[in-house]
Structure 1
């Protein structure tokens, strides 16, 4: 997806998560394109992605509507992802990583270390993290050599905020985002250690925590209320 498309996608996802775009609100291509100062194509691609993620539904063939999403919906979908990715990690550890898989995971760790090593992040850094995070998770699923896991994850990805690619970023608090994503990256290091050590149970436990930690980011980093917690349920790990 183009950079304008990514900007529209991430911003709309955050607006839905925070409630700025309320359930039932209608979205049309032209007004949304004008709002973001982009052409219709990036908006169209963003809408399609959000529809696939279960955040938008088509409305009368002339646009989309924000889908009603509850905390239980999100929690359930993220928990299922944790179970599936945990199983993938356990099976990958028990089988042993191939040389290619180990190198691919190491590259993701090195890239992440470079992003977070300077002690802050930019929006561009977080987009780079989105890409390496997606690769990291994909390698683990593929290393399980269990196609049923990938199939089940693909179905689960259509539920709201369940996909590992469903990043939403608060551009107004990048210091907090640094803490959030750096924490997730440190978990990547831990699961990699478990994988190369062939510790299946440990790898599974870390990956399940890695997914479910997204439900506790607000608590971890100081948000005080349940409403605030919902605003940062942004599966990104």
Structure 2
């Protein structure tokens, strides 16, 4: 392996490791992050450490300190709600384009298969293992939706959005107890939206597909509201806003 390849490999290791510490809340908003921490924690050299810091700052997970170095970026609830809405706009566009495209029967079949598997998981939701199944299948559905749009620009835009700790469709599902009645209600509604999105794409109903996908994104806002109602900590938000 050349020096350049070794640096690239170490940079990726540092990026993934540091991103994980931020997303799971190990590094809280405002926590200082410097090169020595990355070098020691991930056993990389200083050049990949600097590159990792720069990349995560570009992704929006870190921000430059007024003096020197970086710190974990703090977000407000307003930021999170706006990010959810932005993801909805992008996924709505993906659904509309998919409906307007001639999506292959094979791809539609994959989407149907995921919906059917989700039906089974949602019907028996009561444990952490089933929660993991739901998260995995939900991720699959959203990846297939993007694949159906066949849009490189949407893929790049959504990839940047999902790099944020709360940008994933599953961002708040993993923070909630699935035996909570209100959570199940949201998940059941989300599953019906999955089914309706696929049907709209199959029959070429672009406007309906877009509206459904945009509304579907707001399930994340409903999960966030449930966390707030239970006074659960949200790692990426420094202070709760006054928004009701």
TM-score normalised by L of structure 1: 0.66
Partner of 1:159: 164
Structure 2: distance between partners of 1:96 and 1:232: 42
Change (3 A) 1:165 1:117: closer
Structure 1: distance between partners of 2:210 and 2:235: 25
Change (3 A) 1:56 1:184: farther
Structure 2: distance between partners of 1:182 and 1:58: 42
Q: How far is the alpha carbon of 1:170 from its aligned partner?
A: 3.6
Structure 2: distance between partners of 1:229 and 1:193: 36
Partner of 1:174: 178
Q: Would the aligned equivalents of 2:135 and 2:173 in 1 still touch at CA under 8 Å? A: no
2:108 corresponds, among 72, 90, 102, to 102
**2:145 equivalent to 1:140:** yes
Change (3 A) 1:167 1:56: farther
**2:57 equivalent to 1:73:** no
Change (3 A) 1:25 1:215: same
What is the Cα-based RMSD across aligned positions, in Å? 3.9
- Which of 1 and 2 has greater Rg? 2
Structure 1: distance between partners of 2:147 and 2:174: 27
Q: How far is the alpha carbon of 1:222 from its aligned partner?
A: 9.8
Unpaired runs of at least 5, structure 1 = 1-8, 28-39, 42-47
1:15-26 mapped onto 2 (5 Å cutoff)? 22-25=28-31
What is the aligned length?
200
Q: Would the aligned equivalents of 1:22 and 1:66 in 2 still touch at CA under 8 Å? A: yes
TM-score normalised by L of structure 2: 0.64
Structure 2: distance between partners of 1:229 and 1:86: 30
Q: Would the aligned equivalents of 2:93 and 2:210 in 1 still touch at CA under 8 Å? A: yes
Q: Would the aligned equivalents of 1:73 and 1:160 in 2 still touch at CA under 8 Å? A: no
Partner of 2:211: 205
1:77-92 mapped onto 2 (5 Å cutoff)? 77-92=83-98
